[in-house]
DNA sequence: GCCGTTTTCGGCCCGACTGTTTTCAGTCG
């Protein structure tokens, strides 16, 4: 049985392969769109297939339903196999080079027998590429640069890293005298977990000096494009940034357009057309040219013109947000100011950098009313995990601190207890029973097969002392893949046992992934946004967690840490 | 390949920029 993510990967690959065969671009788009739809589907895939409801999902026609059904059942698809066999596998890498699309790759393939990167490099170096019709000296050099930097260029950047680069640029833009308004857009604004490139948008009637400022920004390694309204630069680390300057009247159309996603934009434009309006980053145009097309002085007005409520950028993934907006059913997303405290944090007792007191003081400074401390348990000896004795001592310390009245913030005693091989926990029920809360986490045996890993975690979920499961899939963005685990089953088990799933807010983790939360919430699973802070500053990770929770359509009600201390204590004492 | 108060065929979102061209194709988002 093939995973949803893997099936969507096959559909994406089919789309690229079809590009290389020169297929109808709209057919290609149907496959890409199918992959995106599948990725964000909240319903159970097997259920959809069984009941035939998959065909009711917009964008899923007979052919896609057939292929997805086959892939789910057999894990292979003859159509895909055949297609793959007809194209040199190396071309899938070649087409990733910036500036090379299907047409150019086909030309290289048919005329210069380019079947992989190595051959491409050699025909560039020999000058044969420049001699091809439609190619030239510059294209050849760009390809060579693309080959040289292809790993850096392909890399997506963790949101927090991208934001760190984007912030001072945006501030700088806002300070320029010619700039009326400026925002960052793209996947950064949509709060994706990783960001491919930065998009800056400026409203101004004088683009020229703004462009100059931008392409001369410190750290810019090369200028990849520079026109009247758009410039692109690349930084040392491979991150690309685009700047677009538009007249202030068009700013909100452009902001909407470059916030995307592609699927969201396509749907918006189709909606506009059905209302007699052609929509672009420059605004609306009346199709019949008889009526006057509306302008917009805010993003709200862009949506309003199409009969929609404003859709938060986090939701603009083309996953049904437009339908919900039309029906006025958009969720009221959780906000940072709703957060009243956090769970799952570490101190110097295990692998944290700051003491209990320092952490409490920092939590108080955040304006929170409670702070959960959950140091590691004894099996995590690499993290100086606490044994029963040291844990008892820590509980005592926490009690004393709470009684001392030194802080308004209430410290909750907890443990991030290791889930052992068969799902048993690192502490006995007696020990766990003395704590205010318990986070159960997997820290070893990442290579267990899916069934065993799932069973192991569900066993922990069923333990009455376990309040929440930490970083469910163990992924580290750009560094370590999630381990094999049946998330759908875990969600059902968490719902059945009234166990919380953590949204680990560490920017490397952001685990559980945003794509699962809508479904988890629908099933009644409660979320806890946990910074997993190992020092005082990392308590601020909570903001990353809130961002991902919003992306996962979560409301205040679906997140435990929006509740008051008495409500939280009541919930933790529920069983 | 998908879709349908332009409906079962014939459309399908829209525009900027580059490089290679003499007016535009290809790529990108």
Closest nucleotide to A285, Cα to C1': B14
Is any atom of strand B within 7 angstroms of residue A516's beta carbon? Answer: no
In angstroms, the CA A273 to CA A286 distance is 9
Helix (H, G, I), strand (E, B), or coil: what is residue A277? strand
pLDDT in tens, A27-63: 998 999 899 888 878 788 898 999 988 998 888 999 9
In angstroms, the CA A297 to CA A9 distance is 40
Q: Flag whether pLDDT at A531 surpasses 70.
A: yes
Helix (H, G, I), strand (E, B), or coil: what is residue A559? strand
Quick one: average pLDDT of A449-473?
A: 94
Is any atom of strand B within 7 angstroms of residue A21's beta carbon? Answer: no
Task: Examine residue A540 and say whether the peptide bond preceding it is cis (omega within 30 degrees of 0).
Answer: no
Quick one: average pLDDT of A346-360?
A: 93
Residues 54-83 of A, Cβ under 7 A from nucleic strand B? 58-65
Chain B positions with an atom below 7 A of a protein C-beta are: 1-3, 6, 11-21, 25-29
Quick one: average pLDDT of A560-573?
A: 96
Q: Flag whether pLDDT at A236 surpasses 90.
A: no
Quick one: average pLDDT of A135-157?
A: 86
**Can you give the pLDDT at residue A575?**
64
pTM: 0.84
Return the closest-CA partner of residue A425 out of A384, A389, A457, A393. A457
CA of A133 to C1' of B25 (A): 11
Residues 385-424 of A, Cβ under 7 A from nucleic strand B? none
Residue nearest the C1' of B18 (CA based): A225
CA of A37 to C1' of B4 (A): 21
Closest nucleotide to A232, Cα to C1': B17
Q: Flag whether pLDDT at A444 surpasses 90.
A: no
Hey, what are A528's tokens? 């806890």
Sign of the CA dihedral with A456 first, then A458, A462, and A466 last: positive
Residues 191-210 of A, Cβ under 7 A from nucleic strand B? 196-197, 199
Q: Flag whether pLDDT at A526 surpasses 70.
A: yes
Hey, what are A550's tokens? 């919003």
CA of A506 to C1' of B12 (A): 42
Whole-number Cα distances in Å, A444 to A48, A98, A380, A384:
35, 39, 9, 15
pLDDT in tens, A72-130: 999 999 999 999 999 998 999 899 888 899 899 999 999 999 999 999 999 999 999 99
Predicted confidence band of residue A437 (pLDDT cuts 50, 70, 90): very high
Quick one: average pLDDT of A186-206?
A: 94
Quick one: average pLDDT of A496-518?
A: 95
Closest nucleotide to A95, Cα to C1': B27
What mean pLDDT, rounded, does chain A reach? 92
Is any atom of strand B within 7 angstroms of residue A110's beta carbon? Answer: no
Q: Flag whether pLDDT at A344 surpasses 80.
A: yes
In angstroms, the CA A350 to CA A532 distance is 13
Q: Flag whether pLDDT at A263 surpasses 90.
A: no
């Amino acid at each position: 049985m093939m995973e949803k993510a893997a099936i969507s990967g096959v559909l994406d690959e089919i789309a690229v392969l079809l590009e290389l065969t020169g297929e109808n671009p709209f057919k290609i788009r149907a496959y890409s769109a199918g992959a995106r739809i599948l990725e964000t589907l909240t319903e159970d895939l097997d259920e959809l297939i069984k009941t035939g409801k998959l065909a009711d999902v917009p964008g899923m026609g007979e052919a896609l339903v057939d292929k997805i059904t086959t892939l789910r059942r057999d894990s292979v698809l003859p159509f895909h196999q055949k297609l793959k066999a007809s194209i040199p596998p190396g071309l899938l890498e070649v087409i990733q080079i910036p500036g090379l699309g299907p047409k150019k790759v086909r030309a290289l393939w048919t005329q210069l027998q380019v079947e992989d990167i190595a051959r491409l490099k050699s025909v560039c170096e020999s000058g044969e590429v420049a001699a091809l019709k439609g190619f030239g000296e510059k294209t050849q050099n760009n390809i060579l640069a693309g080959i040289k930097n292809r790993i850096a260029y392909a890399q997506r950047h963790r949101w927090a890293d991208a934001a760190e680069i984007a912030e001072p640029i945006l501030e700088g833009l806002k300070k320029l005298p010619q700039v009326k308004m400026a925002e960052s857009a793209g996947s950064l604004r949509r709060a994706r977990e990783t960001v491919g490139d930065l998009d800056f948008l400026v409203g101004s009637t004088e683009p020229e000096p703004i462009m100059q400022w931008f392409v001369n920004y410190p750290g810019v390694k090369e200028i990849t494009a520079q026109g009247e309204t758009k410039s692109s630069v690349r930084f040392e680390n491979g991150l690309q940034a685009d700047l677009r300057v538009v007249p202030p009247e068009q700013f909100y159309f452009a902001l909407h357009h470059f916030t995307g996603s592609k699927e969201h934009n396509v749907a918006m434009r189709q909606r506009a057309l059905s209302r007699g309006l052609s929509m672009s980053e420059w605004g609306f145009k009346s199709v019949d040219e008889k009526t006057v097309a509306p302008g917009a002085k805010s993003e709200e007005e862009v949506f309003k013109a199409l009969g929609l409520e404003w859709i938060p950028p986090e939701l603009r993934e083309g996953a049904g947000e437009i339908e919900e907006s039309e029906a006025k059913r958009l969720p009221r997303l959780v906000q940072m100011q709703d957060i009243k405290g956090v769970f799952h944090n570490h101190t110097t007792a295990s692998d944290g950098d700051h003491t209990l007191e320092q952490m409490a003081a920092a939590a108080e400074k955040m304006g929170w009313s409670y702070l959960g401390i959950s140091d590691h348990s004894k099996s995590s000896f690499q993290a100086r995990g606490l044994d029963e004795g040291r844990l008892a001592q820590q509980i005592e310390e926490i009690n004393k601190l709470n009684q001392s009245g030194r802080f308004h913030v209430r410290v909750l005693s907890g443990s991030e207890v290791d889930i052992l091989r068969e799902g048993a926990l690192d502490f006995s029920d007696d020990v766990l029973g003395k704590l205010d809360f318990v986070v159960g986490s997997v820290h070893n045996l990442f290579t267990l097969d899916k069934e065993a890993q799932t069973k192991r975690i569900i066993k922990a979920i069923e333990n009455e002392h376990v309040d929440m499961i930490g970083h469910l899939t163990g992924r580290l963005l750009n560094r370590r893949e999630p381990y094999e685990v049946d998330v759908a089953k875990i969600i059902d088990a968490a719902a059945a046992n009234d166990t919380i799933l953590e949204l680990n807010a560490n920017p490397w983790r952001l685990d559980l992934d945003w794509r699962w939360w809508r479904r988890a919430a629908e099933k009644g699973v409660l979320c806890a946004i946990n910074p997993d802070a190992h020092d005082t500053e990392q308590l601020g990770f909570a903001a990353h967690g809130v961002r991902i929770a919003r992306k996962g359509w979560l409301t205040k009600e679906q997140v435990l840490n929006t509740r008051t201390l008495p409500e939280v204590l009541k919930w933790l004492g529920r069983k």
